[in-house]
Chains A and B, each alone.
Chain A
Amino acid sequence: MRAALARPQVRDRAGRRRYWTDTARDILLYVIILFFFLPVLWIILTSSRPNIEINARPPVWIPARLDFDSYKILLGMPVPEGAFGMGSQIPFERYAGNSAAIALTSTLCSLILGVLAGYVFARFRFRGKNGVFLSMMLMRAVPGVALSLPLFILFARLGLSDKLAGMIVAYTALNIPFTAWLMDGFFRAIPEELSEAAVIDGCSRWGALVRVDLPLALPGVAASGIFAFLTCWNEFALASVITRTPASRTFPPALYEFTGSFVTDWRGMTAMSVMMLIPSIIFVALVQRQLVQGLASGAMKG
């Protein structure tokens, strides 16, 4: 990235001192990052340690043993005698299917619509452009709770409440503004001359978008895709109001089902959370470099 990072291996005293300050700085960074990682470790440990240790006093720091019973219960697999958990009453596959269908479909839809809108903002001049852009951002400022009130009534009238289609449409709308904004930045980072050359060579404007600009903006599409996917996958306020039954319920409101009136099944809840995190982690690990490079190339600047 930065040329300054490629330090020559200087073998004098200053070079050695520099090596040690760099190492110290990296260690400091690892310690800070550990703080952000601890809760992840906690939910993994809680999901697989004996139930009795979870609320133990004095605290048990190192689990006596680890097992995967809570996962097996959730997945409806046979478990050893004595293993129990609220997971047995939870239609895990159903929720996974709903969450995946809703998140993937609405991410795809908002990417298509948002990319087109972002392209227009980046490459065309027309009257009222600032107004349209600002209105989009205002739409993004509407919180889920405020939107859930009228959407709850309207969806009930349209027969969309508790339907996958309703959630897909709602989440698509939630993600368009931010996608359009990010893509505007990504497209502006691509030299305009490239698509102009294509147009001069006889390509249509639309052809220039599909053949020249879009392939170059793919890291940006990946970055926008991450943000849209994570929003849909994790959204709670709207989902808790609109998905009333397992027919359309997604993971976030389903986490609630592990809380009873007197007890909370932490093992079951954390087991489901871990499984819910896996797709996100894979997705982010795959595109994290494009994400930061894309953002650095200008999407976030001003």
Chain B
Amino acid sequence: MTAHPLAGDTQTIRARRTGSAESRLLPLALLLPGIAVLLAVIGFPMLYSLYLSFTNYTLTTARSFHFVGLNNYITLLKDPIFWQAFGRTVLFMTLAVNLEFLIGLGIAQLMAKAIRGRGALRTIIMMPMMFAPILVGFMFKWAFNDQVGLVNNILFSLTGRAHIIPWLVDVPLGFIALLVAEIWMSTPFMVIILEAGILSLPVEPFEAAEVDGASGWQKFRMLTLPMVMPFVYTAMAIRSLDLARVYDVVRIMTDGGPGNRTELIWTYVYRLSFSGHNFALGSAMSYVTVIISFLFTWYLFRNVLKSRWEGRQ
């Protein structure tokens, strides 16, 4: 940020000078409504679900449930499907966020340099962001259908032979199909943020490099990439958090099946809680996962914060 070097100091000085209750109470008054809504709609329900995770609450025993201590947590520790789904979610997240970054950076670089029709291109590239994730799920479920799907049809038209590839059933293929859908849906977000990053770079270093006869690749590698890193970091932090919650697309395309083969954490929790009616175990699993993603969030944002306010030059 390019805040005034003395901005912080003048502010403190002025606060002391006006010294009024206003300057101390105003931030509180402005912040409070938002925090109240967050606590009511997210904080309190999450505490309630923590409480439920220590009981044997199910939809059928909603009136007579009691404490069972750590039973649900012991059950989930011993549940291989939970840990497989957990591992698969982490793998999915890692692959998706890195592929989205690479593809997104490539497109963003091309977009930033595009000469004709940038506004229209930008609107088109943002189309996937406007799709409801559930619609993306339906669309790719159809595209990867083994009998009438778009992918197998294209293969048929190209090769002239019928390919009946069971995309959504096979073990690595199902995972890949989910990955393709997720990448199609979310790369545009990366593109927008990284394009904004590239457009915000100062012009002078590039002109200097031009004079020195640097190649396009050298300019990209030595100038664009390092300078755009703060944007990369932010974009990847946001996407990682979103990917840790991935649900809609998977629910529609495979719903974790067949036989838990493409199960990710939230499809499993949903099935246990609402189809299996086991709210208590579902809450316990939610909690374990949410706490792990909290730690992850905390780690990611601690670094973002450092460069935000503390590093204000």
Contacts and interface: CB of A to CB of B under 8 A. Distances in A.
B91 interface: no
Interface string A45-70: 00000000011111101000000000
Interface stretch (A2-10, A78-86, A88-96): A2-10
A36 B192 contact: no
Of the candidates B26, B283, B304, the one having the most CB atoms from chain A within 10 angstroms of its own CB is B26
Interface string B262-305: 00001001100110000100110011011001101110011011
A18 to B, nearest CB: 11
Interface string A91-114: 000000000000000000000011
Contacts of A129: 309
A2 B125 contact: no
B230 interface: yes
B218 to A, nearest CB: 15
A124 B27 contact: yes
A47 to B, nearest CB: 12
Contacts of B42: 139, 142, 147, 173
B206 A192 contact: no
27 contacts: A4-B207, A29-B107, A36-B124, A55-B148, A130-B309, A132-B35, A134-B302, A139-B43, A141-B294, A142-B42, A145-B266, A170-B41, A188-B1, A191-B3, A191-B4, A204-B22, A234-B131, A234-B132, A237-B248, A237-B270, A273-B131, A281-B123, A281-B130, A284-B130, A295-B197, A296-B197, A301-B231
A134 B237 CA distance: 13
B258 interface: no
B64 interface: no
B3 A169 contact: no
B311 interface: yes
A55 B153 CA distance: 11
Interface in B184-232: 184, 187-188, 192-193, 195-197, 199-201, 203, 206-207, 210, 230-231
Interface residues of A, number: 110
A145 B270 contact: yes
Contact of A301 (B4, B210, B230): B230
Interface in A116-136: 116-117, 119-120, 123-126, 129-130, 132-134, 136
A194 B119 CA distance: 31
Nearest to B238: A178
Nearest to A113: B34
A1 B193 CA distance: 16
A216 interface: no
A206 B26 contact: yes
A30 B12 CA distance: 52
B134 interface: yes
Contacts of A233: 132
Interface string A1-44: 11111000000000000000010011011101100110110110
B234 interface: yes
